[in-house]
Amino acid sequence: MADTALVLGAGGVTGTAWETGILHGLAKAGVDLSTADLIVGSSAGAIVGAQLASGLVAIGDLYERQLAEPESEKGAAARLGPVTVLRYARAVLSSRTPDEYGRKLGALARDSRPGATAAERREAIASRLPSPEWPERHLLITVVDATTGALHTFDRTGTVALTDAVTASCAVPAVWPVVSAGGGSWIDGGVHSPANAQLASGYERVVVIAPTASGNKVIVSPRAQAAELEAAGARVEVITPDAATRKAIGRNSLDPARRAAAARAGLAQSAAHTEAVAAVWNG
């Protein structure tokens, strides 16, 4: 088996902040997960993964950025309206597989009017990345094919630019535009699963940081995916939001006004996981 893998899950603006807080707290306690042999990033995790893998900005500085006033960018304060939430629910109830669910959300995304143009959304994502270049570290960015609903990954060996890959992974259906890149059309990687931890298969030691803890009838939860990795022989630790974090995040994970509170909650929560993560990470 390969060695270490860090899986960073989906969870909106607050998920990005919370993951950064968790990583900062662990690093302060002497557990630096940026050394991972593989980093898997989905949606919020794609942003954090790209930041971490670049090695250009210290995790403490990334954390401090989460505490700053939210940027003024087009469509920054987004939310899933009640009609969209209902359509999501109907897609779940009428689907039997993640791919079928992805196809339905892909159709929803194509039929929607997002709060920003594709160029505006790409510019907003680019402003959060330390570099537009793929890092040398093994980074996988997840996306879902808006036509077939299938999970796909981008990495530095392909032809898709890092900024486009991360923008696609963050393309929440009916909130942000579908992303066209590499000859395909893509939506949020978290549509397939909140963590996509199955992509760490074959790695001996895995830490999963997942802002979205639950699954549903077609989407597998992070802990269920972790159990499958453990059954295959891996040592796995899963971190999901505690009660204080859930309160800090509130009901809209896409609200930048909740970002600083989510980051602080992540930093505070990290202390409860340091020992278990260190036991997995340090073998």
**149: Cβ contacts below 8 Å, ≥ 6 apart:** 98, 99, 100, 101, 102, 103, 104, 105, 106, 191
280 and 235 Cβ atoms separated by less than 8 Å: yes
Residue in 99, 145, 164, 188 annotated catalytic = 188
H runs (alpha helix) in 95-253: 98-111, 118-126, 162-169, 222-231, 243-249
Residue in 42, 43, 54, 185 annotated catalytic = 43
Q: Are strands 184-188 and 179-181 parallel, antiparallel or unpaired?
A: antiparallel
167 and 44 Cβ atoms separated by less than 8 Å: no
Based on the residue annotation, tell me whether 188 is a catalytic residue of this protein. Answer: yes
SS3 179: strand
SS3 245: helix
- Rounded CA separation 226/207 (Å): 9
Q: Any idea which residues carry the catalytic annotation? A: 43, 188
